[in-house]
Chains A and B, each alone.
Chain A
Amino acid sequence: MTDEMIRAEGVSMRFCRGLETGGTLKQAFIDALSPARRAARRQHSDFWALRGVDFTVRRGEVLGLIGPNGTGKSTLLKLIAGVLKPTEGRIALGGTVCPMIELGTGFDLDLTARENIYLNGAILGYSRDFLARRFDEIVAFSELEDFLDAPLRGFSSGMTARLAFSIATVVEPEILIVDEILSVGDLAFQAKSEARMLRLIGGGTTVLYVSHALSSIRRLCHRVLWLEGGRVRAIGEADEICEKYEHAAQESVMNNE
């Protein structure tokens, strides 16, 4: 079907906890001398971040992702952005993806704001023509006209975030991935950035939105996917799932007391 923008089929993702800290010469020697121990270490440290996740998102739909910390929300976003490849299952996309996971990655502090717009735009996959055409718009939205030729080193964190948001949202991608970024800059800029998000959503962009703020999930999302322990706990209409989720969270707090 053409209006299906994201289809995840039986997506599982396995991480090896021990590996991230490994990578020293000593460990390599031990592994080389004793393959059996290496295999045991591997098996012991295996950890499934996602297990058999299925869902589809239609064109223009806004899907919210909720769930406790460490249940695989960010992993799922990374799989869809193409940064990770699933251990099992497959993900099919019907259009271009623009990841807005952590703004400003790839900025160079020694370069000026102007140079960073081009560098960051290139990293996000914009073409030279596109950047040249939309340059003024990016600058105007970020309200940093007076600082264009100053190196980023001197920028406040709010200014940097404003620049990053303006670069990331100038494009109208077919699939937009948003990981808790609406709380950028001061109050006026927050209102402006939410308006821009809403405009993108209204313009037919498919959005995957992760947030712990259920109020903004309810306001922005059509449907919600509730992840727990790497599995889909529930998927459906936003208000209904949010209510269930709140209920479950309250219950677990009471059980703990």
Chain B
Amino acid sequence: MSVTARLGALSARYAFLLQQLVLRDFKVKYKRSVLGVGWSLLYPLLTTAILSLVFSNVFRFSTPGVSYVAYLLTGLVFYNYFSEGSNLAMSSILANGSLIGKVYVPKAVFPLSKCLSSGINFLLSLLPLYLVLLVTGTGLCWQHIYLPWAVGCLFLFTLGVGLLLAAAAVFLRDIVYLYGVVLTLWMYLTPIMYDVSIISSPLLRAAIALNPLAQYIGFARTVLLLHRTPEAGQFALCALSAIGTLLVGLHIFRCNQDKFYYYM
């Protein structure tokens, strides 16, 4: 068999495995609930309702020129995907420890399948987002064709972080707990509920500007809320942070994957 034929057979084989794993994750998630997949639609709507009540009435946050609810939901849908995907990917190697010790499978399929199955949830939660865009009178525009750029970057970034954490968690279980704290901090450093303009500290502003999640959410908001084409710099910055993170995560994962077995 030639090298290319062998590679082709190999990727076909693992594509089927990947598909089965993604399907499993998705099916199992809502298996025992009455509303089932309906939760993927309802959950972002309910959290947005609560957060918008709290922040626009109690703290009097507002976003001049655009609907606050639409602003909030855009950030939330993106952040929720990152939080869920990277968290599940982090635990995926540990959770499949017994399998990894018995059958040979390329270990990266586990974090990848988690990022993909969370991706189905993400795509479903775009439905309530579009509903809110219509209801709030924000409306649609042709610039929406750029949205996949932000979504793609979000996916690659989440996968990169997930791979990195999955490998790290095998060697140091404390990472799992530590990451919960990091995620809380990360959420507040991402302009989900507030607009960057309310931040006065230049240091905090710089931190937010360097935050890849803020870049992707900013990109999506430019398209969805302002109906503008993002600047070339925004396209480049998003792709750079996403691909860079993915390469780092992939490299660390691959360098360490042969050692996972001993730490399970």
Contacts and interface: CB of A to CB of B under 8 A. Distances in A.
Interface string B61-101: 00000000000000000000000000000000000001111
Contacts of B254: none
Contact of A105 (B24, B32, B98, B262): B98
B104 interface: yes
A82 B24 contact: no
Given A20-B263, A23-B172, A83 B100 contact: yes
A25 B262 contact: no
B213 to A, nearest CB: 26
A128 interface: yes
A83 B101 contact: yes
Contacts, number: 77
Interface string A102-117: 1001101011000100
Interface in B96-147: 98-105
Contact of B12 (A81, A102, A127): A127
Interface string B234-264: 0000000000000000000000001001111
A108 B28 contact: yes
A28 B178 CA distance: 15
Interface in B1-41: 12-13, 16-17, 19-21, 24, 27-28, 31-32
Contacts of B102: 78, 81, 83, 99, 101-102, 105
Given A83-B104, A84-B261, A99-B103, A24 B16 contact: no
Which of A20, A101, A105 has the most CB atoms of chain B within a 10 A radius of its CB? Answer: A105
Contacts of B20: 118-119, 122-123
A188 B264 CA distance: 37
A198 interface: no
B149 interface: no
Contacts of B17: 122-123, 125
Interface residues of B, number: 30
B174 A123 contact: no
A171 to B, nearest CB: 13
A222 interface: no
A51 interface: no
Contact of B103 (A15, A23, A124, A128): A124
Query: Which residue, B21, B24, B98, B170, has most C-beta atoms of chain A within 10 A?
Result: B24
Contacts of B264: 20
A82 B258 contact: no
Contacts of B103: 81, 83, 99, 101, 105-106, 123-124
A111 B261 contact: no
A19 B262 contact: yes
A46 B22 CA distance: 39
Interface in A168-208: none
Contacts of B32: 110
A85 interface: yes
B68 to A, nearest CB: 39
A112 B132 CA distance: 37
A24 B174 contact: yes
Contacts of A81: 102-104
A28 B263 CA distance: 14
Contacts of A82: 104
Contact of A85 (B16, B19, B258): B258
A77 to B, nearest CB: 10
Contacts of B261: 83-84
Interface string A66-86: 000000000000100111110
A28 B28 contact: no
A-B pairs, 5 with minimum CB distance: A82-B104, A122-B20, A122-B17, A25-B174, A110-B28
Given A28-B172, A105-B103, A110-B31, 4 more contacts: A23-B173, A83-B100, A84-B261, A105-B99
Interface of A: 15-16, 19-20, 22-25, 28, 78, 81-85, 99, 101-102, 105-106, 108, 110-111, 115, 118-119, 122-125, 127-128
Interface of B: 12-13, 16-17, 19-21, 24, 27-28, 31-32, 98-105, 170-174, 258, 261-264
